[in-house]
Amino acid sequence: MTDNIKYVFAVIGFVLSITAALPYLLDIFRQKTKPHLFSWLIWVLITAIAFAGQLTDEGGVGAWVTGFNSVVCLFIFLLGFKYGEKHITRGDWISLAASIFVILLWLVTDTPFYSMICLCFIDVSGYFPTIRKSWHKPNEETALTYFLSGMMYVTGIIALQNYTWTTLLYPASLVFTNIAFVLYLLWRRAVTKGNHHVD
């Protein structure tokens, strides 16, 4: 695939990232969506590390989709202080501690491939606070944002200029986790609606 086509997919990825963020941000300001502070902090940290790892392994223009997404995550995290979920559990603290451990591990090993494996695991654990919250409040998350985010990483994968396990593993896992979370939200909404407990 030519570099010009990869640049096109990188641009599409940026557009999808913006398009995915807008409904989430609007729902936050409408106080319909309440982001969990810990989930978004974890995602800020690991997307930033993943971006660094992709750059190290010459991911090229496709890596910038990950970098831009880390900025979006940071903005949502900051909004979470005012508009986010306030109920924090022990499990939430464990998820946060695990992500910090991975950062320390990454700094010690300085090996992009192994850090990517850890980051994929921690990204899934980062969903824990939001999954827990969404079990009872599935309408306090914007499903469209997660779906578009998954599609964004599909374009990011296509736009990568160097295909290795280090550059591929993290965005591929994000495609899976975002789509899986959308299905989870739709399932919980159907169940809570059926039980007449719509939040």
**pLDDT tens digits, 127-168:** 999 999 999 899 999 999 999 989 988 887 887 777 887 778
Q: Is residue 117 part of a domain?
A: yes
Q: Is residue 16 part of a domain?
A: yes
Q: What is the predicted pLDDT for the residue at 113?
A: 76
Within 8 A by CB and 6+ apart from 139, the residues are 32, 189, 198, 199
Q: What is the predicted pLDDT for the residue at 2?
A: 65
Alpha helices in 30-142 (DSSP H): 37-56, 63-83, 90-109, 112-136
SS3 85: strand
DSSP lists the bridge partners of residue 85 as 36
Q: Is residue 118 part of a domain?
A: yes
Q: What is the predicted pLDDT for the residue at 199?
A: 42
Domain ranges, residue 71 = 3-194
Task: Indicate the length of the chain as a whole number.
Answer: 199
Q: What is the predicted pLDDT for the residue at 57?
A: 66
Q: How many domains does the chain have?
A: 1
Closest to 126 in 3D by CA, of 48, 188, 56, 190: 48
Low-confidence ranges of the chain (pLDDT < 50): 197-199
Among all chains, which residue has been given the structure tokens 């995550």? 73
Q: What is the predicted pLDDT for the residue at 63?
A: 67
Q: Is residue 199 part of a domain?
A: no
Q: What is the predicted pLDDT for the residue at 198?
A: 43
Q: Is residue 81 part of a domain?
A: yes
Q: Is residue 98 part of a domain?
A: yes
